[in-house]
Chains A and B, each alone.
Chain A
Amino acid sequence: MNPDPHRLPSWARRVLEWALPGGVRGASIRGDLGEEWGERPPGPTRTTWLVLEVIRLVFHYRIRPVAGGGGGMGGGTGVWRFALRRMAKDPGFSVLAILTTALGIGATVALFSVVQAVLLDPLPYRSPDDLVAVFEAHRPREISRNVANPGNVAAWRGVRALEGAEAVVLAQPRVVSQPGEPREVMSSIVTPGYLELLGVDLAEGTGFTPAAGAGDGNQVVLTRDGWNELFGGTPGAVGQSVVVNGQSARVVGVLPPTHLPFADGALLLMGMPLEAMGDQTNTGRFLNVVARLAPGSAVDAARLELEGVMAGLREAHPDFNAGWDVEVESLRAVVLGDLQAPLWTLLAAGSLLLLVACVNVANLTLARATERQAEMAVRSALGASGGRLAGQLVVESLLLAGVGGVVGVGLAWVATRVLTPGLLEAFALPRLGDVGLDGSVLAFAAAVTTATGLVFGLAPAWGAVRRGPAETLGAEGRGPSRRTGRLRRGLVVAEVALSVMLLTSAGLLVRSFRTLAAVDTGFEAERVVTGRINLTGERYRGAEPDLLFYADLETRLAALPGVEAFGGVSFLPLDGLGSATSYYPADRPVPPRDQWSVADIRPVVGDYFGAMGIERVAGRTFEATDDADSPRVIVVNRSLAEEAWPGEDPLGRPLAINWSDLEPWTVVGVVDDVVHTGMDQAPRPMVYHTLRQAPYFSFMTLALRTRAGDVAGAVAGLRSAVAAIDPAVPVTRVRAMDDLVRTATARPRMTAFLVTLFAGAAAALAAVGLYGVLAFAVARRVREIGVRMALGARATDVVALVTGQGLRLVALGLVLGLGGAALGSRVFEALLFGITAHDPWAFAAAGALFAVVGTAASVIPALRAVRILPGRALREE
């Protein structure tokens, strides 16, 4: 429980301290509000209530007195009622202003709610700033953020700057056969102290014992999703047993919904002590390490100490550790890493749109203020001070902004709900569960709304203060003062410049996305459907049953008419996971350990290359005769061939691979490079071998190339073929290869899409603003134009006159906007792929697009001007 339930949230206290009178008076009002706050049940309703109360107090104590409350206008709520009446009197203007504001506020608030939940809130762990991630790194090979060896991690634990270090193995599919039907469930192995180190409290159960997975028997902790999946979310899961990959384990805890570093997607955590995971002599690197800094220790101190330990480990295990070092980073940087740039960019784009909206409404308000000059002049002559009139205008703006803000928050609410699934998929956001319009988001919305109202209200208010009644009354009939006209034109130029900046950003992101999407993946995704098979349990002990299974499956699938080719691989391209090891060409002198190169390694079954459409460059691929009794052969990709034997024929060459042994394999074929880790990553050297010659993978991802793109038929055929061999084997993660490629480009697509959306909206607003200014200028010059035409001016002259006026504004805005974009685009250079931040095409496209839009917005009022008949123009006098 909160020790002081009457304590208002800090933002409210701060706002009220500013807004309310000083001394006991203000303090007691705050106290009263706090008491009512404390009496209400916590939740979003209470927060909304508080936000509204605070806004009302701010209006009451800060804005109303400035706007001229008390006497005159009827005082109190009178000034607001008057503003409301004005709003209702001019519904067209009001609706336009409200929608424009709502658009900007909605976009900004929706994105702020995402940024706040993902980037601003602290990570949901105890003292999250003390948490670091420790990696191994191999600088000579340019490998960073590498997983670590358990023996090395055990040595790191002794470091004084660390309070503790725990390890996680990335989630992998395992078959759970109890409770319920056998099925594949993503699970992570963690050291028993992992949850305690993070400070994550369990919803149920006591958690791992220190010897979980060893002396204390197998233990699992379920995540909230795992609890739902395995126990249907019913109580009493703790103490039950589950069977994972044929081994029984006891449930010792259920987690609340939360994010766990390095265990994304895991439904269950399996405890295993570090000591039971092996060491430098018998296993490789596969651990992600989360550590907590000891009180008072800094990241640098930990790094220094760990580097010392690692130097010792290099000496103790030269074969294994040569060239390897440590890397220490804050956990926050690792977890949020590449999310920062796109999310901040989106928020910035949303804010630019809001700015354009503000400028647009300011412009509308100015135009209307001009129409209201007579009213202002009369009121001024009757004794209303300039301040009072300005106050009235500010109140009107605030009212418009307020309504716009409410509508905008509604839009943002819808947007967060509609966009959440897309964002979740595109960004793989670690903590999107928390995104919502909570108190601080609403406070942000209120602040943005107030600022918006002030921004677009101040310009006309300033005009009202500066003009005396005589000036205004004297000027009546001849339209706005020169000053107002200049101000409006300036605002239009600002609008054009801001939207050109947004358009340029959108252009850069779209170009970058298209470059990325056009990357040659090295395979043909069309018509390929994939699904995963995991052969576990008694029946598949040893290698033979697996090989028989796949041989049988291949025969059965070959008989299907719709299947053109079939194959399988341990890890599909672009699917996130992979395995790699070091190698050296065995026909050369053996290089020192720390100079071995690194290659990805994949076992395949069937005609994997045919099914995926990976092109054979030289030699052959695997044949049925390549089995356990024949010579060991491998197929390598082009990158590996070029790296190992530059400029030479790789066929028939021996390659030593640091996998189970160092006996050389013979290269029999070369295939094209395939992007594996990401569309924006260069292909890496790759070794393929057939499962028949090294059968140590229990799971395979199957790929079927269908003949006519009949995906449903192929999936049904695959399922029934697998069921005919062994009904207990599930086919999981059935996906079209197309979808995997789409997912791999989802983030840049989403970013480009949203920024384009904002840019389009901003450009439309700017065009409306430009049109408004020109139309107004034409209306003001009706008489002049009429006289000119009566005296024989041709229509083209008039069009040129008006259009020219518009184009001058467009040109100025274009120059400023493109210049601003050139300065600002560096900010999101990290988001661009294949193009620079000064990509001429993006700049040219944005400039050309707005030139067209701006010309259209200028020509229309010009054409209307021509239609003014001399007679009508003169009659208007």
Chain B
Amino acid sequence: MSPSFPGEFEQMVLLAILQQGDGAFALEVRREIEESAGRSVSRGAFYTTLDRLERKGFVRWEERMPRDSRRTAPLRRFEVTAAGLEALRTSRQALETLWRGLDDVLETS
């Protein structure tokens, strides 16, 4: 697999999973993105992106028992894989390289 950069939304999902740490359940991850990005996230697009990240090998998940005894449906806890971390790192480096020296230009606008 060539060094594929994760897309913007994919990056946001990966970062949100990392932010949530041990508690990276789908519901919380989606909320984290909505809160920090300040925009609503389509439910379908979100779950499809998780599936895509899984296919790319950037995340993995495990089934957990519900914390709330009243919830009977299973929960999925997500984790960013080493490949996912690597992709994020590569992407960040690339962006930082591109950002270099542009602070003046961008801050005035």
CA distance A30 to B74 in the complex (A): 9
Q: Evaluate contact between B44 and A61: CB separation under 8 angstroms.
A: yes
At the interface, yes or no: B57 with Cβ under 8 Å from chain A? no
Query: Which of B30, B43, B71, B74 interacts with A24 by CB under 8 Å?
Result: B74
Q: Which residue of B lies closest to A32 (CB)?
A: B27
A336 within 8 A of B: no
B44: which of A4, A24, A56 is its contact (CB, 8 Å)? Answer: A56
The CA of A5 and the CA of B73, in the complex, are separated in Å by: 12
- In the complex, the answer to whether B71 meets A34 with C-beta atoms within 8 Å is yes
Question: Please, how many angstroms separate the alpha-carbon atoms of A100 and B71 in the complex?
Answer: 43
A202: Cβ under 8 A from any B Cβ: no
Determine the distance from Cα of A53 to Cα of B48 in the docked complex, in whole angstroms: 15
Is the beta-carbon distance between B42 and A60 smaller than 8 angstroms? yes
Given contacts A32-B27, A35-B27, contact A27 B45 (CB under 8 A): no
User: Could you tell me the distance in whole angstroms from the C-beta of A562 to the nearest C-beta in chain B?
Assistant: 69
Q: Does A36 contact B (CB under 8 A)?
A: yes
By beta carbon, the residue of chain A nearest B75 is A28
Q: Which residue of B lies closest to A8 (CB)?
A: B73
Decide: B70 and A59 in contact? CB cutoff 8 A.
no
Kindly list chain A residues whose C-beta atoms are within 8 Å of the C-beta of B47.
Answer: 25, 29
Q: 1/0 per residue B19-40: CB within 8 Å of A?
A: 0000000110010000000000
**B51 interface residue per 8 A CB criterion:** yes
If the complex has contacts A24-B63, A24-B76, A35-B27, are A76 and B71 also in contact, measured as CB distance less than 8 A?
no
Contact with B along A7-31 (1 / 0, CB 8 A): 1000000000000000011011111
Most A CB contacts (10 A, CB to CB) among B47, B74, B76 go to B47
For residues 52 through 109 of chain B, which have their beta carbon under 8 Å from a beta carbon of chain A? 63, 66, 68, 70-76
Set of chain B residues within 8 Å of A28, measured between Cβ atoms? 26, 63, 73-76
- CB A256 to nearest CB in B, in angstroms, measures 28
0 or 1 for each of A45-66: is its CB under 8 Å from B? (1 = yes): 0000000010011011100000
| Residue in chain A with minimal CB distance to B42 | A56
Chain A residues with CB below 8 A from B75, complex form = 28, 31
Q: How many residues of A contact B (CB 8 A)?
A: 26
Contact A31 B44 (CB under 8 A): no
- Shortest Cβ gap from A191 to chain B (Å): 43
The answer to whether A56 touches B76, judged by C-beta atoms less than 8 angstroms apart, is: no
A58 to chain B, nearest CB (A): 9
> Which residue on B lies nearest to A54, using beta carbons?
B43
Q: Which single residue of chain B is at the shortest CB-CB distance from A33?
A: B43
Roughly how many angstroms separate A58 CA and B43 CA in the complex, as a whole number?
A: 11
A6 at the interface (CB under 8 A from B): yes
Whole-angstrom distance between the Cβ of B55 and the nearest chain A Cβ = 12
Q: Find out whether the CB atom of B66 lies under 8 angstroms from the CB atom of A31.
A: yes
- Most chain A C-beta atoms within 10 Å of own C-beta, residue among B44, B68, B72: B44
Report how far A178 CA is from B26 CA in the complex, Å. Answer: 63
Contact B45 A60 (CB under 8 A): yes
Contact indicator A27/B27 (Cβ below 8 Å): no
Contacts A24-B76, A31-B71; A60 near B51 (Cβ below 8 A): no
Query: Would you give the shortest CB distance from B56 to chain A, in whole angstroms?
Result: 14
A32 touches B26 (CB 8 A): yes
Q: How far is the CA of A854 from the CA of B72 in the complex (A)?
A: 60
Chain B proximity of A331: nearest CB distance (Å): 36
Chain A residue contacts of B26, Cβ below 8 A: 28-29, 32
Residue numbers in B under 8 Å from A59 (CB-CB): 44
| CA A29 to CA B49, docked complex, whole Å | 13
Quick one: closest B residue to A21, CB to CB?
A: B51
Whether A6 pairs with B70 at a CB distance below 8 angstroms is: yes
Identify the closest chain A residue to B49 (Cβ). Answer: A76
Q: How far is the CA of A722 from the CA of B68 in the complex (A)?
A: 71
Q: Which residues of B contact A60 (CB under 8 A)?
A: 42-45, 48
Min C-beta distance of B53 to chain A, whole Å: 13
CB–CB A53/B43 < 8 A: yes
A35 touches B71 (CB 8 A): yes
Q: How far is the CB of A870 from chain B (nearest CB, A)?
A: 58
Asked whether, in the complex, the Cβ of B42 is within 8 Å of the Cβ of A27, the reply is: no
Q: Which residues of B contact A6 (CB under 8 A)?
A: 68, 70-73
Distance in Å from the Cβ of A33 to the closest Cβ of chain B?
7
Query: Which residue on B lies nearest to A20, using beta carbons?
Result: B47
A846 to chain B, nearest CB (A): 48
Give the nearest-CB partner of B26 in chain A: A32
Expressed in whole angstroms, the Cα–Cα distance for A25 and B70 within the complex equals 19
Known: A25-B51, A60-B48. A31 touches B73 (CB 8 A): yes
* Residue on B nearest A69 in the bound complex, by CB: B48
Q: How far is the CB of B6 from chain A (nearest CB, A)?
A: 16
Taking a contact as CB atoms under 8 Å apart, the answer to whether B73 and A4 are in contact is no
On chain A, the residues within 8 Å of B42 by CB distance are 56, 60
B71 A57 Cβ-Cβ under 8 A:
no
B-side contacts of A7, CB under 8 Å: 72
Contact of A4 with B43 in the complex, beta carbons under 8 Å: no
Interface contact B74-A27, CB-CB below 8 Å: yes
Contact for A27 among B30, B44, B68, B73, CB less than 8 A: B73
Identity of the chain A residue whose Cβ is nearest the Cβ of B72 in the assembled complex = A4
- Determine whether the beta carbon of B27 is less than 8 Å from that of A36: yes
Q: Whole-angstrom distance from the CB of A834 to the nearest CB of chain B? A: 58
Residues of B within 8 A of A35 (CB): 27, 68, 71
**A398 CB, nearest partner CB in chain B, Å:** 15
Q: How far is the CA of A407 from the CA of B30 in the complex (A)?
A: 31
Q: How far is the CA of A24 from the CA of B42 in the complex (A)?
A: 20
**CB neighbours of B76 from chain A (8 A):** 24-25, 28
Residues of B within 8 Å of A30, CB to CB, are 73
Residues of A within 8 A of B68 (CB): 6, 35
In the complex, which residue of chain A has the Cβ closest to the Cβ of B63?
Answer: A24
- Are B43 and A57 within 8 A (Cβ)? yes
B residues near A77, Cβ cutoff 8 Å: 45
Q: Bound complex: CA of A60 vs CA of B48, how far in Å?
A: 9
Q: Determine the chain A residues whose CB is within 8 A of the CB of B63 once the complex forms.
A: 24, 28
In the complex, residue of chain A having the shortest beta-carbon distance to the beta carbon of B44: A60
The chain A residue sitting closest to B25, CB to CB, is A32
**Chain B contacts for A27, CB-based, 8 A:** 73-74
CB distance from A213 to the nearest CB of B (A): 47
Chain A residue numbers with a CB within 8 Å of B74 are: 24, 27-28, 31
Complex CA gap A6/B44 in Å reads 20
Docked complex Cα distance between A183 and B68 (Å) = 58
What residue in chain A is nearest B31 (Cβ atoms)? A36
A4 adjacent to B70 (CB under 8 Å):
yes
Provide the bound-state CA to CA distance between A35 and B66, in Å: 11
Q: Give CA–CA (A53, B46) in the complex, Å.
A: 13
Q: Smallest Cβ distance from A64 to chain B, in angstroms?
A: 8
A76 to B70, Cβ gap below 8 A?
Answer: no
Complex: A388 Cα to B27 Cα, angstroms: 33
User: Chain A residues with Cβ under 8 A from B44's Cβ?
Assistant: 56-57, 59-61
Q: B residues within 8 A CB of A38?
A: 70
Smallest Cβ distance from A27 to chain B, in angstroms?
5
B52 CB, nearest partner CB in chain A, Å: 10
Q: What's the Cα separation between A18 and B44 when bound, in Å?
A: 15
- Which residues of B have CB within 8 Å of A61? 44
Closest approach, in angstroms, between the C-beta of B70 and any C-beta of chain A?
A: 5
Chain A: minimal CB distance from B74 (Å): 5
By beta carbon, the residue of chain B nearest A58 is: B44
Complex Cα gap A56–B42 (Å): 8
Chain B residues in 8 Å Cβ range of A53: 43
In the complex, the 8 A-B pairs of residues with the closest C-beta atoms, listed nearest first? A31-B73, A60-B44, A28-B76, A32-B27, A6-B71, A27-B73, A24-B74, A24-B63
**Contacts A28-B76, A32-B30, A60-B48 known; 17 new A-B pairs at CB < 8 A:** A4-B72, A6-B68, A6-B72, A7-B72, A24-B74, A25-B51, A25-B76, A28-B26, A28-B74, A30-B73, A38-B70, A53-B43, A57-B43, A57-B44, A60-B43, A60-B45, A77-B45
Please give the residue numbers on chain A whose beta carbons come within 8 Å of chain B beta carbons, in ascending order: 3-7, 24-25, 27-36, 38, 53, 56-57, 59-61, 76-77
| 26 chain-A/chain-B pairs, Cβ below 8 angstroms | A3-B70, A5-B70, A6-B70, A6-B71, A6-B73, A24-B74, A27-B73, A28-B26, A28-B74, A28-B76, A29-B43, A29-B47, A31-B74, A31-B75, A32-B26, A32-B73, A33-B43, A53-B43, A56-B42, A57-B44, A59-B44, A60-B43, A60-B45, A60-B48, A61-B44, A77-B45
